[in-house]
C-alpha cells in the first residue's frame, strides 16, 4: 500500500514502504544517486545504489519532475537533512518529464505572474502555493461544519437565470436555446424564495459571476461565494452568525495547518469575535477629519480603506449603508429611510462580505423596484413568493478567495484561485 510522505515518521525504522511522487531534486555522487521525491504532503530523500536497483542506468538519467514509484527500506538514522531516507530496492518510472521545464518548482529564479498562471499545473506543485488551497479547503470545511451545527440546510440554486440579481449591467449574457439568459451574480433571489418555502436557514457554496471591467488585484469575474439566509432574523443576527462562523473556521484551519503554514512563510492570527462595528456616516466623518473629502452616498476608495485599516487592523463591520449604494431588496432603517440595515465585513482594507436584512413586505418591495427603476415583471418568479407569507429574513455573501487572500496576506486574489477568470484570462 502507498505511504504518504508525511506519515513516514510514524513508521518503524527498517519498515518496507512504497511511495509515489515527483522527482524534485537529483544529486549524483559516483555510484550513488540521491533523489528528493515529493508528494502533496511533503518530501523525502531516496537513496539509490547501482547494485540495489535493476534499472539504475535509466534512473540515473531521469529528469526533474518525472513521476516515479519507489519501494524500499525506511532508514530513520540517515545523515540527510531530515534524518530520514528511503533505501530504494525498486523504482518504477511512471512518467518522464520533458526538459527544460517551463518553470521551476524549487528554483530561486522568479518568473512573472502570467507565466505562473499559464503554467498553473507546475506552479501549484510548489509547496508554498499548494498550502494556500489546503488552507482554503480546511476553511471551507469549517464553515460547512459550523453551518451544519447551527441547523442550516445546504442548497444549490441555478447559475443560469432569467433576470439580474441586483440589476445593473455587470452581467454575462447566455444564449439559452431561443431565450436570453444570464450567469447568476449571486443566489440572492433564490435564497429569499426558500425563506418563503419554510427552509428557515440555508447556505450555499458555489460560483458567482460579475462582468465587472475592473482588472485589479482584488477583482475576479468568477469567484466562489459562500451565502446564507436566515428567517426570523435581522442584520445584527446574521452579523453575529458571520463573525462566529469565521472565527470557528479560521481557528480550526489554523489548528490543523498552522505549523505547515508557518514553515512556508504564512501566519494566521487567532480570530476573536465580536468584531468592531462602525456606521457608514461615522466613517465618512472620520475620513473627512483626516483630510479626505467625501459626501454621504460616496463609496470608499482603496486609499481611504488603507487609511482606515491603520485603525482597524483586523475584521470590522461597516454598517448602515446609504440606500443608493444597496440593492433593491435591502431593508431601510427604521429611523432613516435613506439608510439601510446593511453591512460590509472588512478584513483590514478589503471587503470580504456584504449582507443585510431584506425587505419582506410585498408592497415595500414593489415600491423599491420603482425607486430603483427596475421592471418588476422581470422578477415575477421572485416577488410572487412575497404574496403568500414571507417571514422577516436576512443574510450575507462571503467571497472565499478574497477571504483567503487577506488571511494569508497574499498580494493578488488570483493566488488564492486555482484557475482565475478575469477580464483578460479565459485559459487555462
Which distant-in-sequence residues (6+ apart) come within 8 Å of 368 by Cβ? 328, 329, 359
Q: Is 25 annotated as a binding residue?
A: no
Annotated active-site residue 219? The verdict is: yes
Q: Which of 25, 78, 80, 219 is catalytic?
A: 219
Pairing label, strands 350-357, 342-347: antiparallel
Annotated active-site residue 351? The verdict is: yes
Q: Which of 64, 116, 201, 210 is catalytic?
A: 210
The kind and range of the H/E element at 86 are strand 85-95
Q: Is 214 annotated as a binding residue?
A: no
Q: Which of 67, 74, 69 is nearest to 17 (CA)?
A: 74
Annotated active-site residue 156? The verdict is: no
Q: Is 192 annotated as a binding residue?
A: no
Q: Is 180 annotated as a binding residue?
A: no
Q: Decide: 1 and 18 in contact? Cβ < 8 Å.
A: yes
- Compute the distance between CA of residue 212 and CA of residue 219 in angstroms, rounded to an integer: 8
Query: If you compute the radius of gyration of the chain from its CA atoms, what whole number of angstroms results?
Result: 26
Helix (H, G, I), strand (E, B) or coil at 304: helix
Q: Which of 116, 201, 218, 341 is catalytic?
A: 218
Annotated active-site residue 277? The verdict is: no
Annotated active-site residue 212? The verdict is: yes
Q: Is 64 annotated as a binding residue?
A: no
Q: Cis link prior to 413 (omega < 30° from 0)?
A: no
Helix (H, G, I), strand (E, B) or coil at 420: coil
Q: Is 243 annotated as a binding residue?
A: no
Q: Is 351 annotated as a binding residue?
A: yes
Q: Which of 65, 402, 415, 416 is catalytic?
A: 402
Q: Is 399 annotated as a binding residue?
A: yes
Q: Is 219 annotated as a binding residue?
A: yes
Annotated active-site residue 282? The verdict is: no
Q: Which of 78, 351, 421, 425 is catalytic?
A: 351
- Compute the distance between CA of residue 409 and CA of residue 172 in angstroms, rounded to an integer: 30
Q: Is 210 annotated as a binding residue?
A: yes
Q: Is 358 annotated as a binding residue?
A: yes
Q: Is 400 annotated as a binding residue?
A: yes
Q: Is 282 annotated as a binding residue?
A: no
Q: Is 212 annotated as a binding residue?
A: yes
Q: Decide: 207 and 158 in contact? Cβ < 8 Å.
A: no
Annotated active-site residue 2? The verdict is: no
Q: Which of 186, 196, 249, 354 is catalytic?
A: 354
Q: What is the DSSP letter of 112?
A: -
- Compute the distance between CA of residue 214 and CA of residue 134 in angstroms, rounded to an integer: 28
Catalytic residues: 210, 212, 218-219, 351, 354, 402
Q: Which residues are annotated as a binding site for Mg(2+)?
A: 351, 354
Q: Which residues are annotated as a binding site for ATP?
A: 210-212, 218-220, 351, 399-402
Q: Which residues are annotated as a binding site?
A: 166, 210-212, 218-220, 351, 354, 358, 399-402
Amino acid at each position: 500500500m502507498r505511504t504518504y510522505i508525511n506519515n513516514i515518521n510514524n513508521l518503524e525504522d527498517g519498515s518496507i514502504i512504497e511511495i509515489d511522487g515527483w522527482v524534485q531534486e537529483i544529486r549524483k555522487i559516483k555510484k550513488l544517486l540521491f533523489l528528493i521525491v515529493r508528494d502533496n504532503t511533503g518530501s523525502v530523500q531516496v537513496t539509490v545504489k547501482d547494485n540495489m536497483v535493476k534499472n539504475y542506468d535509466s534512473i540515473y538519467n531521469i529528469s526533474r519532475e518525472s513521476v516515479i514509484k519507489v519501494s524500499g527500506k525506511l532508514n530513520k538514522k540517515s545523515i540527510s537533512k531530515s534524518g530520514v531516507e528511503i533505501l530504494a530496492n525498486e523504482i518504477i518510472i511512471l512518467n518522464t518529464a520533458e526538459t527544460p521545464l517551463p518553470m521551476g518548482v524549487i528554483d530561486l529564479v522568479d518568473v512573472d505572474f502570467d507565466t505562473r498562471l499559464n503554467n498553473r499545473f507546475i506552479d501549484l506543485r510548489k509547496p508554498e502555493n499548494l498550502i494556500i488551497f489546503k488552507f482554503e479547503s480546511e476553511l471551507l470545511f469549517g464553515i460547512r461544519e459550523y453551518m451544519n451545527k447551527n441547523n442550516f440546510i445546504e442548497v444549490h440554486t441555478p447559475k443560469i437565470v432569467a433576470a439580474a440579481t441586483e440589476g445593473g449591467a455587470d452581467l454575462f449574457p447566455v444564449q439559452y436555446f431561443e431565450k436570453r439568459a444570464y450567469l447568476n451574480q449571486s443566489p440572492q433571489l433564490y435564497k429569499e424564495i426558500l425563506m418563503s418555502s419554510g427552509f428557515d436557514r440555508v447556505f450555499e457554496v458555489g460560483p458567482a459571476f460579475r462582468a465587472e471591467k475592473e482588472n485589479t488585484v482584488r477583482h475576479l469575474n468568477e469567484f466562489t461565494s459562500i451565502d446564507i439566509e436566515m428567517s426570523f432574523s435581522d442584520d445584527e443576527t446574521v452579523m453575529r452568525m458571520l463573525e462566529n462562523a469565521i472565527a470557528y473556521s479560521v481557528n480550526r484551519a489554523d489548528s490543523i495547518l498552522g505549523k505547515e503554514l508557518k514553515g512556508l512563510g504564512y501566519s494566521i492570527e487567532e480570530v476573536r469575535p465580536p468584531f468592531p462595528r462602525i456606521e457608514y456616516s461615522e466613517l465618512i466623518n472620520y475620513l473627512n477629519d483626516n483630510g479626505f473629502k467625501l459626501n454621504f452616498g460616496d463609496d470608499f476608495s482603496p486609499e481611504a480603506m488603507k487609511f482606515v485599516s491603520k485603525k482597524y487592523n483586523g475584521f470590522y463591520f461597516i454598517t448602515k449603508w446609504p440606500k443608493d449604494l444597496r440593492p433593491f431588496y435591502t431593508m431601510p432603517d427604521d429611523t432613516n429611510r435613506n439608510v439601510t440595515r446593511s453591512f460590509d465585513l472588512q478584513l483590514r482594507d478589503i471587503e470580504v462580505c456584504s449582507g443585510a436584512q431584506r425587505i419582506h413586505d410585498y408592497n415595500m418591495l414593489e415600491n423599491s423596484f420603482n425607486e430603483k427603476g427596475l421592471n418588476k415583471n422581470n422578477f415575477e418568479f421572485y416577488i410572487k413568493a412575497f404574496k403568500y407569507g414571507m417571514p422577516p429574513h436576512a443574510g450575507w455573501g462571503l467571497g472565499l478567495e478574497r477571504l483567503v487572500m487577506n488571511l494569508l496576506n497574499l498580494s493578488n486574489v488570483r493566488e488564492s484561485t486555482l484557475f482565475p477568470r478575469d477580464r483578460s484570462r479565459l485559459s487555462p
